Each structure stands twice: as structure tokens, then as C-alpha cells.
Structure 1
Amino acid sequence: MLQPVEIDPRRFCRESRSWEARSDVSAFPRLAHEFTQGELSCRVAGRSDARGGLSLQLTVRGEVELTCQRCLNGMRHEVDIDRVVHLARNESELERLDALPGSDAILVGETLDLVGLLEDEVLLSLPLAAMHAEGECPV
């Protein structure tokens, strides 16, 4: 089981640190409940810009198996996440960053759990109801 990876998000970004993991989905505490099998490759890279803005580049790739809601058999689902998440220090900065076109932002405190953040991103990328395409369910 992957343990939480707690970081100081400001320091992580200012120092351009990165963290990587490749693991079976059963090692992720919350993802193990959603998928029957699969493996994910994850990378988080911290960034800071000239104006002091902080962000994380999140990359998650892999293939997992979901349960089809039509036939209740397994179905393969490709996970391909590549996004930048801006880090806001307070509510007003969060509102400003969220208002930018195509921008994702989160409010961060003194620590941030990278495993939890990646699990959130994977869960948000899932279809509302996983189903094979019409006529593709095994008989």
C-alpha cells in the first residue's frame, strides 16, 4: 500500500522538485476500491514562475479495469492525465486563478499529500457510468 507522501508544496515548487511512482492500482488506498486491476505511472513536478506563482505538473498514465454497468464484466479504461494545477495561498488567489481560462487551482496549506492529489485526479477523470460501447458487451 502506498503511504501518503506529504510535502511542503511551496518548497517543492520553488526548488523544482519532482516525485514519481509506478504501482499497481491496488497500492493506492482509494483507487483500489474503484478498479479491479491495472497499473499507473505517476509523476508530479513542481514549478515556480518569475512572478512567484507556484504550480504542479501532474502526469498519470496507465490502463485500469472498470466494471461495465451494462454487463457487469470487466472493461479496460485508459488513464491519460497531463495537467497543470496552480497552487493558491488564500481564497482570493484561488478565485483569481480559477477565473483564468483553462486553469485549475487548489488551495494549499503547509503540507500536501501527493498520493491523495493523484488519486483525486484519477477519480475525477473517470466516466460517470463505465460501459462498453453499444453491442460490445460479451454475451
Structure 2
Amino acid sequence: MSSTQDNKSLALQASKLQVPTSTSMPDNISLNKWEDTGFEWEGEVVPSSFERLVTVLNTEHEQSNILLNINLYRRNNVLHLAFTLTGEVWLTCQRCLQPVVIELTDDYNIALLDDESQIRLINEEQDYLLLEEIVTEQSPERLLPLKKLIEDEILLKTPMAPKHDDCEMSVEQFGEIPEEEETENPFAALASLKGNL
């Protein structure tokens, strides 16, 4: 085995030692503890565990768990929160009022900047947040609101007025619709006058 392979296997073993073993997704990540060493978490999350998302979920359809793979790491002196969402949620169609599925599966990578001077260190297309705006200070720790950030991305992915591509609006009619009386066109009289001039 070459020395580079030895170094790789040692690095892999070291990174596995640093990964916290938690069965449920943490609400927050301690930046004091993990921003330099990195943080990884993988598991399933129940959609109803998100406080804001639960208000728009369809209660008539069973919700499946969302698979999450989270990685907090530092590259080029910039902290990144990368995560993969795999799954879907069921909302209520605003036309027919029946359940409609919304696909959430996507990859996300958000740069977490100490200040605006770090913007030059990331790609123009990359999403970023300023740590001072999102980190909650609970002495002696700086906490990154992980669950809230992931919920924000899920809510951005869900439409404000979800609807099926091919459904009719649910309309109930009460009573009979009165027939409109035909009214005489006011321009008809002008047309007859024009012919006489």
C-alpha cells in the first residue's frame, strides 16, 4: 500500500471519528465545536416535524419521510452547509382541493459568510447567508439553526398555490343561474343615423 493510500485511509478514519452519531436531526449545530472539523448527519425526517411546513401539509394523505444528507465543511476559508433532500410532500390543490404531490428532491449548497468581504471567495451563482444574521448566540456557544435553514429551503421549493396540471376548479352551484336579458346595442342607433346622413 502506498503512503498516499495510507494517508487517505487515515483521513477517512479521522473524519468518521468526527461525525456525531445522532439518530434524530439536530435543531442546531454548535459552530464553536464543528465549524473547523466539519459536521455530517444522514437520516430521515418526518415532514410534520417542521413547524411552519406542517401548516400547509395535506392531512388527508399520508406523508412519507424525507431523507436528508447534511455536510457542514470549510473550503477556501469559507464555511459551507451542503445538504441533499430526497422525498416529497403532499399539499392541497387549490383548484380541486384534493392532495397534490410536490417533489422536494434536490441538492443545496449555501455559503455561510463571516462578513460581506467573503463574497469574492465564492461563485457568483452560489447562495450565501451572513452568519451574523442567522446564528443565535447562546453563551458560550454560537448555534447555527440547522432545522430552520432546511425548512426555509423546503418552503421555497413548495408553491404558494399548489395545483395539479390537469384538474378542474371545484365549484358548487347553488340555485339556478338567471339568464341575461338581451339589451339593445347603443351603437346600433348611431349606425342607422350614419346611413341617413
TM-score, with length taken from structure 2: 0.59
Q: 1:107 aligns with which of 122, 126, 130?
A: 130
Separation (CA, whole Å) in 1 of partners of 2:88 and 2:165: 17
* Conserved? CA contact 1:19–1:44, under 8 Å: yes
Deviation, structure 1 residue 132: 0.3
| 1:67 and 2:92 aligned | yes
Partner of 1:116: 148
Is the CA contact 1:97–1:105 (under 8 Å) kept in the aligned structure 2?
no
Mapping of 1:119-134 within 5 angstroms?
A: 119-134=151-166
When Rg is computed on C-alpha atoms for both structures, the one with the higher figure is 2
Q: Map 1:80-91 to 2 at 5 A.
A: 80-91=105-116
- TM-score after normalising by structure 1: 0.81
Instruction: Select between 7-16 and 67-76 the one with higher mean Cα deviation.
Output: 7-16
RMSD (Å) for aligned C-alpha atoms: 2.5
Higher share of residues assigned helix: 2
Question: Which residue is equivalent to 1:24?
Answer: 46
Q: Choose the corresponding residue for 1:40, options 66, 81, 104.
A: 66
| Higher RCO (C-alpha 8 Å, min separation 6) | 1
Q: Helix, strand or coil for the counterpart of 1:19?
A: strand
Measured after TM superposition, the shift of residue 57 of structure 1 is 0.9
The sequence identity of aligned pairs, in percent, is 32
Distance 2:143 2:70 in 1: 15
**How many aligned positions are there?**
134
Gaps in structure 1 of 5+ consecutive residues: none
Higher fraction of strand: 1
Instruction: Measure the CA separation in 2 of the matches of 1:122 and 1:56.
Output: 15
Q: Residue type of the partner of 1:6?
A: N
Q: 1:10: Cα distance to partner? A: 6.3
Distance 1:97 1:74, change over 3 A: farther
